[in-house]
Amino acid sequence: MDFSTTITFNGLIQQFIVGLSRTTILFIVSSGLSLVLGVLRIPNVAHGSLYMLGAFLCYSVATLFGNSPIGFWFAILLAPIGVAIISLATERGLFCHLYDREHLMLLLFTFALMLIFHDAVKLIWGSEYRSLTPPVIFQGSLPILGMPFPKYNLFLLSIGPIVAVGLWFLTQRTKIGKIARAAAVDRDMVGAVGINVSWVFASVFVIGCFLAGLGGALVAPTQNITQGMDHTIIMEAFLIVIIGGLGNVWGALLGALIFGLTDSMGIMILPQFSIVFPYAAVVIVLIFRPKGLLRATW
């Protein structure tokens, strides 16, 4: 293969931007996973299922509005809210009674949730593929450096920084964020100053699940909405959280960048082996930084 003819500078830039917009989705989903992991100390295996649920809900709401542009915006907004409400009910109804139990119980519980959500999605939406077209303003492409660039990906690119700033604000500047950071390290002491840790956990869990739902809603117009999209994302999200540093939201950003960019660049360099690149990157990171790139809260 002659690389010089297949890889042009503009092609690289284009692929880079595609990678970045994919990174946005990965970041949104894995930051939610990392948040729950860091504060509640639970690897939420059902996180990917909530992402899938977000995608299907987004599809249904958009369809309900006859795929009108307004319907699309409603769908992007309502799908993650729906996921958040479902997760709140799950947390308050079931999960919160298990916090005093041993870790394995909690892990098993989220595993059970994954199975339940999986079947629920199958029952409600059946097992066919669904697909969603973005509203007209996001269809087609914009020329960037002479290369056509899908508008919807540009939209995704703009969401990433908003979520990152939002998370920074939430964890660093709000009281609940500060309490959550304290509870991540010493939940007993947080209780001993009179704070009901259980509600802090509920809020963090719901915010984390909201992010899973948001990721699913945002990704819906870019790919087939199918059973099984939960498995792919949960694998990727866990790897990202691991290389970023368990429980570190900025680590999730860094991990998502590494994963998303090696993925899209790999497609450019060796398309038939592209799937290997992000996993190779994960291995390399872990060889040099076994505990992840940024400080883990574990």
Give me the residues that bind other proteins (CB under 8 A), please.
175, 178-179, 181-182, 184-186, 188-197
Q: Which is nearer to other proteins, 85 or 182 (CB)?
A: 182
Bridge partner list, 225: 130
Q: Which is nearer to other proteins, 97 or 178 (CB)?
A: 178
Token pair for 103: 């870790």
- Report the distance separating Cα 113 and Cα 249, nearest Å: 24
- In the complex, least distance from residue 100 CB atom to other proteins, rounded to whole angstroms: 11
Confirm if 268 and 12 have CB atoms less than 8 A apart: yes
Q: Which is nearer to other proteins, 87 or 248 (CB)?
A: 248
- In the complex, least distance from residue 170 CB atom to other proteins, rounded to whole angstroms: 14
All residues at 6 or more sequence positions from 136 whose CB lies less than 8 Å from its CB, including other chains: 69
All residues at 6 or more sequence positions from 248 whose CB lies less than 8 Å from its CB, including other chains: 34, 38, 292, 294, 295, 296, 297
The single residue listed with the structure tokens 């041993």 is: 102
Burial class from Cβ neighbours inside 10 Å (0-12, 13-18, 19+) for residue 65 reads: middle
- In the complex, least distance from residue 185 CB atom to other proteins, rounded to whole angstroms: 6
CA dihedral (76, 82, 85, 90) in degrees, to 10, reads -120
- In the complex, least distance from residue 190 CB atom to other proteins, rounded to whole angstroms: 8
Q: Which is nearer to other proteins, 100 or 128 (CB)?
A: 100
- In the complex, least distance from residue 238 CB atom to other proteins, rounded to whole angstroms: 24
Q: Which is nearer to other proteins, 175 or 272 (CB)?
A: 175
